[in-house]
Amino acid sequence: MSVQKTTGTTVDLRAVVDDRIDPELPAGLELRSLATAMVTGQRLEETRAALSRAAGPQMAAAAIGVCANFEMMNRILDATGCPAPERLRFVAELLGIPR
């Protein structure tokens, strides 16, 4: 199940919730490992180093910045009770999240 809606980049969104699935992105496995490490607080240095090796230090820094920004925005949206816009709800369905 690949999606190319906005950027034309193929990505298998099921990989977000199933680590047996390759996300089909360059350094996608390392990106997912880093995101998991950031959520759990475990293996941060190891996963950051792996992403830096796979994608380069600038891309690793950019990915960490995106994760940090997402976390900040997610906290703001949760605190204010802001619903997801209808145009983005297709992502929930792709991930198997009931509407």
pLDDT digits (tens, 9 = 90+) for 59-93: 999 999 998 898 888 889 888 988 778 887 787 77
What confidence score (pLDDT) does residue 1 get? Answer: 55
* pLDDT-derived band at 2, boundaries 50, 70, 90: low
What confidence score (pLDDT) does residue 42 get? Answer: 95
67 token code pair? 């994760």
How far, CA to CA in Å, does 53 sit from each of 20, 31, 58? 22, 12, 11
List, for residues 4-40, the tens digit of each pLDDT value.
667 778 888 888 888 898 888 889 999 999 989 988 9
Nearest Cα to Cα of residue 63 among 53, 73, 55: 55
Start-to-end C-alpha separation, the chain: 19
